Structures are given as structure tokens and as C-alpha cells.
Amino acid sequence: MNLPLNAIIGWLTILWEAYDNGTIPQIKEALLGAGIPPERLVEIDAAYTARIAKAQADAG
Amino acid sequence: MQRLRSMALAVALVVSVAACAVKTYNATAHVDVAVYEALAAVQDAAETAHSRNLISDAQHRELAGQLVPILQAGQSVNRALQTWTPGTPKPATITAGLLEIRRLLAALQTTVPAGPIQSAISAALSVLGGVQ
């Protein structure tokens, strides 16, 4: 529990600088991996529906 | 001062846990997209093979029938992902659905002739290889 105050201030400074120069999204992507937009999942859902209908029609 | 340090530690802990949850969600979403693309490639390969008379009408019908439950399982996984709020436990239906797709694809692979359809199924199985 003995976090040195200057280390906390150092991290906050790094974060502030990253926020200030716009690199937060890059850091976030590097740490978390790029996200998939929800619209893409909705598109995939519609595509599945169309493909299932085609497969059912082809199967007779 | 001690209180400030404890709060900083608590914030760091909460941020770390949230980051792990988001990372798991993002990784699963990538698998979902890759699985869709792989299954679409299998269906497209079957269509191409049929149009080039590499498989008969009967084989095409049978293959299409076998693809239906696989595509339905893929859609279930995708829908479960859409309702999953990052930060909450991963819905069991996602892993179960992915395992079901892998099982059905492995069974399908043994029934199709060697060629582009089988290659597409192998590619789909490799996408699902890491699912446990």
C-alpha cells in the first residue's frame, strides 16, 4: 500500500500528456485490441439470416 | 496522504479489471467476425463447386441442409455477443455455440470431397481452433 506519491504524479502526467497530444485512442487500442463496431455485428446478423434462408431453399 | 494512495490503487485496480473485460469482449467479437467470414466462405465454395459441376445436385442439396444448423449456430453466437455487456461474465452460449459449430464442421468435413469446399472447412476449423 506504500505507493510513492511522485510515481502517481508521474503516471498522471504521462496520461495527461497522452490525452493532450491525442494518443489515448492508440494506447487504448494497443492495450485492449481494436473493437468491432456494433453496426458490424448487426450487418453480420442480417447476412446470417440471408445465408440461412438460401441454404434452406437449396436444401429443399 | 495514505488515503490518496489507497484511492489511487483502488482506481488502478478497477481500471485493470475493466480493461481485461473489454479485452475479452473485443477478442470474442473478432472471433465472431472471423467465424462468420469462414462460414460464408464454406457456403460460397459449395455454390461455386455446384455451379462448376464439381458436386452433383444431390450433393449440393445435402451440403446445404448440413450448413443450415451451422449457420444458425453462428447467428446465435453473434446475437449473444450483441447482448453481452462488456464487464459482465461472458455468456455461456457464446462458447457453447462456437464449440457446436466446430463439432458440426468437423462432421461435415468427413462427408465432402477433397477440394475447395474441404479447404474452406479446414480454414473455418482453424479459426475455431483456439476455442475452449
pLDDT at A22: 74
B120 neighbors B42 (Cβ within 8 angstroms): yes
C-alpha cell at B130: 483456439
| 8 Å CB contact of A45 and B78 | yes
Of B66, B62, B60, the C-alpha closest to B46 is B60
Q: Could you tell me if B33 and B126 are in contact, meaning their C-beta atoms sit under 8 angstroms apart?
A: no
Are B64 and B49 in contact, with CB atoms under 8 Å apart? no
B68 to A3: CB separation less than 8 angstroms, yes or no: no
Provide the CA B22 distance to its chain's centre, in angstroms. Answer: 18
The string of pLDDT tens digits covering residues B77-132 is: 999 999 998 888 889 999 999 999 999 999 999 999 889 999 999 999 999 987 76
Q: pLDDT at position A29, please? A: 63
For residue B70, pLDDT beyond 90: yes
pTM of the predicted model, to two decimals? 0.77
CB contact under 8 A, A47 and B40: yes
B40 touches chain A (CB under 8 A): yes
Q: B1 falls in which pLDDT band (50, 70, 90)?
A: low
Find the mean pLDDT for residues B9-19.
59
Contact A51, B47 (CB under 8 A): no
Q: Which of A12, A49, A51 to mutate to test the interface with B (most CBs of B within 10 A)?
A: A51
What's residue A10's pLDDT? Answer: 86
Query: Comparing C-alpha atoms, which of B22, B36, B9 is closest to residue B90?
Result: B22
Q: What is the pLDDT of residues B18-62, one digit of tens each?
A: 566 677 888 899 999 999 999 999 999 999 999 999 999 999 999
State the nearest Cα–Cα gap between B68 and chain A, in angstroms: 6
pLDDT recorded at residue B101? 97
pLDDT of residue B12: 58
Q: How far apart are CA B43 and CA A46, in angstroms?
A: 16
Segment A3-7 mean pLDDT:
80
Asked if residue B14 has pLDDT above 60, the reply is: no
Query: In sequence order, what DSSP letters do the residues of B110-126 get, joined into one string?
Result: TTSPTTHHHHHHHHHHH
Q: What angle do CA B114, B127, B25 make, to 5 degrees?
A: 160
pLDDT tens digits, A32-57: 666 888 899 999 999 999 999 999 99
Share of residues in chain A with pLDDT > 70 (%): 77
